[in-house]
Amino acid sequence: MSSKKGVYSINDKHYDLNIYYEYSYDVGDWMQPPTNDVDVYKVELNDEDITEFYFDYMSGLFEDQVYQFALQDH
């Protein structure tokens, strides 16, 4: 299994949102299919840590966007 860290960023004139993630993947073999996973481990809004708030209220809004970005960035 391999992994890579990255950042999904949204930069607006009023705020900067940075979602830090770790993308893990395994190419698989003849017995195991390929797998991949994205785990968010830190979130900052204007350089303030809002990780707990993100998981409580915002993760559903950005989950697919972060996952797609991680796949493309891989």
Q: What would the pLDDT profile of 7-65 be if each residue is shown by its tens digit?
A: 999 999 999 999 999 999 888 888 889 889 999 999 999 999 999 999 999 999 999 99
**What is the DSSP code string of 5-25?**
EEEEEEE-SS-EEEEEEEEEE
CA separation for the pair 54, 12 (Å, rounded): 18
CA separation for the pair 54, 72 (Å, rounded): 23
CA separation for the pair 6, 40 (Å, rounded): 10
Residue length of the chain: 74
Give the pTM.
0.88
